Structure 1
């Protein structure tokens, strides 16, 4: 087990998944059931994982929440006196907030200049730079990141911040649904805007929902059908990840029309998937993180569902 995986296990032990009451919504669909589906590909955040915090409904409240988590991160890793030294006129949390978002903005701008329309960064690289700045101002890593190579320390700090910045946990019945689809001989995959911590978290969520009968997501998902944006430096809705998926499907002799993409965002998920020939299933289990982008009147997905227990009833490997 890697150092960051061990650290993640400690946090998941001490802070179990935080379930929220969410309000679903209904959405029109072309049909109630699809047959001849040989692969189902999932988005992660807002689809499998409920990441939404109530504060995200308001930009000011969201900013305040994230600043508080930066402050918590600063205190936990003992950054605070060094951030105060770097910028005495701002709180440590505010300084860390600015470092983080400015560095991400710079990385995105560099990528766009190289022709990437939908750039993705590796978030641990951002924390690697922040640690370098802190160490140049006298900081010596302590506690969980003491004596670690900076790249591993950066991953632990990145994991900690993200762990507390987002609500974390699978939506109800995700594991049972994945299991039912697999039992119907359907291959499962992931195509998502994600970071290194995404598979780590999903392993924990699967263990929780399966009562430890499944300990690794690749017991259910086909590794060859899993694509995370951070690995390629390109995010949805760019075509690159979908092109990689189509190539993998072709090697498995699965046609795009036999593949269902499940997501919670009409533009990033549904419209992009349909453009490359995939069938679409719109998940509306949390209306706060169901994104229409004003396209609800013009786009009708093949399927729509608001609870994961409904999906196996709507999809079949065989004919309808």
Structure 2
């Protein structure tokens, strides 16, 4: 698959940057299902999150200019960035005006507008290379061992993540298996680009809870692991899940200490290494 080849070509090993929070806590009840955030939790993200690339993009203007030249584009890189982020904001406003809470865009459609092209496949290729340039990612240490360990113990696994079309390919490119091959349940995979809205909206969490309940897994037996108090811990707790804050990388850890919505929210656990999750289950 061309997407996976591109991801591997751009891939450079990264290490998480230690944060100051120590691990603490343990599951409050037996766990039968684990749901995950992706960026900053399962994958190291240099920009911290899929949505945090604007400042990173500005710092990589030379690489973006080279990318444009590779696609035969004559637009100046700074103008390209300005149009790109302006189009994202305009589309989110359009969707918000239609009543969509926490709207998500389709990034290939944004690029089709910015580049003034109708070839969706070409727009997807450019979108992926742009993302790999401004927000490279790499598996968090212990990721493969964690997923294998949970699958071998018979735990249900799922993902609720702000994401784009290329996000699932990051797993197959780096780990050699697609999401279902890694043990994730298809009906527990929720990506914002498919849904049309993202976190911290709670709809995906609620649907995940209902899908788990159909197979006999109660909400309190489900654990959600994420790095963001607002986008992960708050909606997961509202859905009745146990919550684990991943504090393993200071670039992506988001405590939201100035956000009143998170003032009274506390995770059940804090971990600083994915291996700690296996150790406590």
For the criterion TM > 0.5, the same-fold answer is yes
Partner of 1:139: none
CA distance in 2, matches of 1:288, 1:199: 22
Secondary structure, aligned partner of 2:243: strand
1:114 equivalenced with 2:77 (yes/no): no
Determine the C-alpha separation between the residues in 1 that align with 2:126 and 2:56.
20
Q: Which residue of 1 aligns with 2:247?
A: 284
Contact kept, 8 Å, 2:17 with 2:248, in 1: the verdict is: yes
Q: For residue 170 of structure 1, what is the aligned residue in structure 2? A: 139
> TM-score, normalised on structure 2?
0.90
* Aligned CA distance change for structure 1 residues 201 and 282 (closer, same or farther; 3 Å): same
Runs of 5+ unmatched residues, structure 1: 84-91, 136-148, 208-214, 316-320
Cα 1:63/1:168, change in 2 over 3 Å: closer
Preserved CA contact (<8 Å) 1:28 1:301: no
- Shift, 1:206, TM fit: 1.5
Distance 2:185 2:119 in 1: 32
CA distance in 1, matches of 2:53, 2:43: 21
Which ranges of structure 2 fall in alignment gaps of 5 or more residues?
Answer: none
- Would the aligned equivalents of 1:25 and 1:285 in 2 still touch at CA under 8 Å? no
1:105 and 2:83 correspond: no
User: TM-score with structure 1 length normalisation?
Assistant: 0.80
| Counterpart mapping for 1:139-178 below 5 A | 150-178=119-147
Q: Which of 23, 34, 40 does residue 34 from structure 2 map onto?
A: 40
How far off is 1:63 after superposition?
5.0
Count the aligned residue pairs.
275
Match of 1:142 in 2: none
Deviations 1:214-256 (A, max 9, x none): x222112111111000101101001221122122112222111
Displacement after TM superposition at 1:184 (Å): 1.2
Whole-Å separation in 1 of the counterparts to 2:217 and 2:99: 31
Tell me the residue number matched to 1:310. 276
2:178 maps to what in 1? 216
Using the alignment, how far apart are the partners of 1:27 and 1:63 within structure 2?
A: 32
CA distance in structure 2 between the aligned counterparts of 1:196 and 1:306, rounded to whole angstroms: 28
Distance across 2 between alignment mates of 1:190 and 1:125: 24
Greater C-alpha radius of gyration: 1
The aligned residue for residue 179 of structure 1 is: 148
Question: Where does residue 11 of structure 1 map in the other structure?
Answer: 6
Instruction: Check the 8 A contact 2:247/2:272 in 1, yes or no.
Output: yes
1:7-26 CA deviation, whole Å, 9 max, x = no partner? x2332343334313521332
CA distance in 2, matches of 1:205, 1:187: 22
SS state of the match for residue 231, structure 2? helix
- Within 1, Cα distance between the matches of 2:8 and 2:23? 40
What is the alpha-carbon root mean square deviation over aligned residues? Answer: 2.4
Listed as ranges, the matches of 1:132-281 within 5 Å are: 132=116, 150-207=119-176, 215-219=177-181, 220-281=183-244
Task: Note if contact 1:34-1:314 (Cα within 8 Å) is conserved in structure 2.
Answer: no
